[in-house]
């Protein structure tokens, strides 16, 4: 094994395949896959008890067996095979340099890399020192990582979930936790100033800060204690395109996480944040519920009472368990404080809710900051500060606003009626008229590869798109092998950001090879999402697009290379057959729509009757 050979550990394979680590261990002991013997690849090194496997062999094995839950594993694989011994921050610095310049770093020598870093970061606030330590292997890996990603943001996400980050034992908040904090923080910021306010990072996980900062005018990173952590945050901010500054602006949102802090210092840290608030500032503090919400005893209770006595705390919530990977059984707490004193306090315990509407929670928090007593709070209830100061919990367990029925009987009735309007519509039958052929029809068979060589079709590959690119007001669809993906882009932005991306034409066959699946785009103009491809037939191909799609949809999962797929070529009747198959496909879609309406009707009847909102007085068929 050479030092630069791309390898994967068992945990890397699990992450690549989208399964648990134990599943990969089971795969190694079970060579039989659907009646065939396909042994798991042998490791090429197990130094220190850590088995390493050739990346390409693993990718081929996953493809051949169909195991795992990642249909794009062949595209993602390079991102999971970081070189051994690489420094996480060195890799982040190289990724930062690449995202800032857009240059292919693999084409530059070491001195050229350093010169480029000095040009971008002349004061060496976050970049030059780390780039000086770059090696050929780390530069090559960052180039592979960039190619395997949809952009710098995703490349950083993959890097921070990969082997190198695991070796640093960093455990972040879950995506659910970050999204919840972001929703609440954004709502508070818009309440302060609809035109935007800055976010001040006072300490805590970088990913949390940078995700939240995306909705703010800029990120304030005070440089009174610049160190490795400070440099690391600035690098990540550059990669994610977050504007940073060092001077505090008013009003602003202060974000602080005290998770993982020493218990004795948590309240001191919170005191420092609150003392730094301006009169219109807001602080969001995330920490263990045991300190922020529950009963305390002794000095800890006295210290918390001293922190709360001025009345800066306006909103407190006990959050669900499992939001922090470091201690997934520990419930978290959230405080929202203002620079004003004597704020009325509202609290809620949402730790045991089956469903949580983050927008409603954020609306409750904003109303609490404004002491909006006219609002009907969904979660929060008033809490007397005097009771908290008398050694009671800040957030009593189970405390929430009274719940009311949210669905009126009329709504259930309307839903049932709307569904029956679809199921009661007459659906005509589908018929095809045929007649015996006049003589013998010449039919030949050709592979798609042969048709491509004869210039009778073209195959184009798709491009990767991120769900975050979706614009609700966009008009350009991104399609895959199953149809529209739900991602839509603004046409101007699509042209600017993806000028050379493949688009469909009317009549293109959009397909995937594993498992074989296809449909015909009747309109065209859509962007194509990998791993889907398009087949564009030329006149004289002897087969129509709907015919080709129907054949692909009936291929077995083991059909293999698309260029080897064989299709019939007709000399006559090509258009008539294709028109009939197009009509059959449209009829099938109407049947599926009718079936979906019937399934919805069943659900609406059960829910409405179970809530006592409707009674069934009759039914029947047309």
Highest mean pLDDT among 436-445, 535-544, 605-614: 535-544
Mind listing the pLDDT tens digit for each residue in 231-270?
999 999 999 989 898 887 789 999 999 988 877 788 889 9
Per-residue pLDDT averaged across 507-522, rounded?
91
Q: Residue 466's pLDDT is what?
A: 78
**Helix/strand/coil percent split, the chain, to 5:** 45, 15, 40
Q: Residue 3's pLDDT is what?
A: 46
**How far is it, in rounded angstroms, from Cα 25 to Cα 29?**
7
Q: Residue 2's pLDDT is what?
A: 40
Per-residue pLDDT averaged across 144-148, rounded?
82
Q: Residue 443's pLDDT is what?
A: 65
What's the farthest any 2 CA atoms get from each other in the chain? Answer: 100
**Residue 435 pLDDT exceeds 80:** no
Two structure tokens written together for 303: 């210290």
Give me the chain's average pLDDT, please: 86
Per-residue pLDDT averaged across 579-607, rounded?
85
Give whole-number Cα distances, 20 to 160, 267, 474, in Å: 18, 38, 37
* Sign of the four-CA dihedral 325, 327, 330, 335: negative
Mutual orientation of helices 152-161 and 88-101 as an angle, nearest 10°? 170
pLDDT band at 473 (very low <50, low <70, confident <90, very high): confident
**Residue 140 pLDDT exceeds 90:** no
pLDDT band at 412 (very low <50, low <70, confident <90, very high): low
Per-residue pLDDT averaged across 129-146, rounded?
89
Q: Residue 502's pLDDT is what?
A: 86
Q: Residue 127's pLDDT is what?
A: 92
Higher per-residue confidence, 418 vs 22? 22
Per-residue pLDDT averaged across 97-118, rounded?
89
All domains of the chain, ordered by start, with CATH? 7-167 (no CATH), 175-389 (3.40.50.150), 443-571 (3.90.220.20)
Residues belonging to the chain: 622
Per-residue pLDDT averaged across 439-467, rounded?
84
Q: Residue 442's pLDDT is what?
A: 57
Answering whether pTM is above 0.85, one says no
H or E stretch including 54?
strand 53-54
Higher per-residue confidence, 610 vs 510? 510
Highest mean pLDDT among 89-103, 165-179, 259-273, 341-355: 89-103
**Residue 302 pLDDT exceeds 50:** yes
* β-sheet bridge partners, residue 381: 347
**Residue 213 pLDDT exceeds 60:** yes
Mind listing the pLDDT tens digit for each residue in 562-592?
998 999 988 888 888 898 898 888 888 888 8
pLDDT band at 356 (very low <50, low <70, confident <90, very high): confident
Helix intervals (H) in 296-396: 298-308, 358-369, 385-389
Q: Residue 328's pLDDT is what?
A: 66
Q: Residue 239's pLDDT is what?
A: 93
Helix intervals (H) in 66-172: 73-76, 88-101, 110-120, 128-132, 136-147, 152-161, 163-167
**Residue 30 pLDDT exceeds 90:** no
């Amino acid at each position: 094994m050479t030092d630069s050979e791309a390898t994967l550990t068992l945990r890397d394979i699990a992450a690549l395949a989208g399964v648990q680590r134990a599943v990969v261990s089971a795969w190694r002991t079970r060579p039989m896959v659907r009646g065939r013997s396909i042994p798991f690849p042998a490791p090429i090194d197990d130094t220190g008890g850590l088995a390493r496997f050739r990346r390409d062999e693993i990718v081929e094995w996953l493809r051949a067996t169909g195991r795992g839950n990642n249909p794009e594993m062949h595209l993602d694989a390079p991102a999971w095979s970081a070189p051994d011994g690489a420094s996480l921050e060195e890799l982040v610095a190289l990724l930062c340099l690449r995202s800032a310049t857009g240059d292919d770093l693999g084409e530059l020598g070491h001195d050229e890399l350093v010169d480029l870093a000095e040009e971008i970061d002349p004061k060496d606030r976050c970049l030059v020192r780390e780039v000086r330590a770059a090696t050929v292997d780390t530069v090559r890996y960052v180039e592979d990582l960039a190619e395997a990603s949809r952009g710098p943001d995703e490349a950083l996400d993959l890097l921070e979930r990969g082997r190198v980050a695991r070796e640093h034992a960093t455990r972040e908040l879950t995506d659910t936790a970050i999204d919840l904090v972001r929703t609440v923080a954004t709502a508070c910021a818009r309440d302060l100033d609809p035109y935007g306010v800055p976010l001040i990072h006072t300490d805590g996980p970088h990913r949390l800060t940078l995700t939240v900062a995306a909705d703010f005018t800029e990120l304030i990173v005070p440089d009174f204690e610049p160190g490795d952590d400070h440099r690391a945050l600035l690098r990540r901010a550059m990669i994610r395109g977050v504007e940073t500054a060092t001077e505090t602006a008013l009003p602003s949102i202060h974000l602080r996480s005290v998770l993982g802090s020493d218990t004795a210092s948590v309240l001191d840290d919170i005191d420092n944040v609150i003392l730094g608030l301006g009169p219109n500032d807001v602080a969001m503090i995330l920490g263990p519920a045991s300190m922020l919400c529950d009963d305390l005893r002794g000095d800890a209770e006295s210290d918390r009472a001293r922190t709360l006595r001025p009345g800066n705390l306006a909103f407190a919530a006990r959050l669900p368990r499992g939001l922090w990977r470091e201690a997934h059984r520990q419930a978290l707490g959230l405080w929202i404080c203002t620079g004003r004193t004597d704020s009325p306090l509202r609290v809620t315990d949402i730790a045991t809710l089956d469903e949580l509407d983050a927008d409603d929670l954020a609306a409750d928090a904003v109303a609490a900051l404004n002491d909006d007593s006219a609002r009907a709070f969904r979660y929060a209830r008033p809490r007397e500060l005097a009771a908290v100061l008398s050694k009671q919990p800040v957030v009593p367990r189970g405390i929430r606003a009274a719940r009311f029925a949210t669905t009126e009987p009329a709504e259930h009735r309307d839903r049932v009626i709307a569904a029956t309007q679809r199921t009661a519509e007459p659906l005509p039958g589908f018929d095809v008229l045929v007649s015996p052929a006049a003589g013998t029809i010449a039919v030949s068979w050709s592979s798609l590869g042969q048709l491509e060589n004869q210039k009778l079709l073209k195959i184009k590959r798709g491009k990767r798109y991120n769900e975050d690119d979706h614009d609700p007001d966009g008009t350009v669809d991104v399609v895959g092998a199953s149809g529209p993906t739900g991602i839509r882009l603004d046409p101007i932005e699509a042209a600017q950001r993806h000028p050379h991306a493949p688009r469909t034409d009317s009549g293109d066959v959009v397909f995937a090879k594993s498992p074989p699946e296809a449909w015909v785009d009747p309109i065209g103009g859509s962007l194509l999402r990998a791993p889907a491809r398009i087949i564009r037939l030329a006149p004289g191909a002897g087969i129509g697009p709907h015919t080709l799609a129907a054949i692909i949809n009936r291929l077995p999962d083991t059909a293999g290379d698309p260029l080897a797929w064989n299709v019939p070529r007709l000399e006559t009747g090509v258009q008539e057959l294709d028109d009939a198959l197009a009509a059959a496909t449209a009829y099938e879609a109407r049947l599926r729509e009718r079936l979906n309406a019937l399934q919805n009707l069943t659900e609406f009847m059960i829910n409405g009757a179970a809530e006592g909102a409707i009674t069934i007085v009759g039914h029947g068929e047309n």
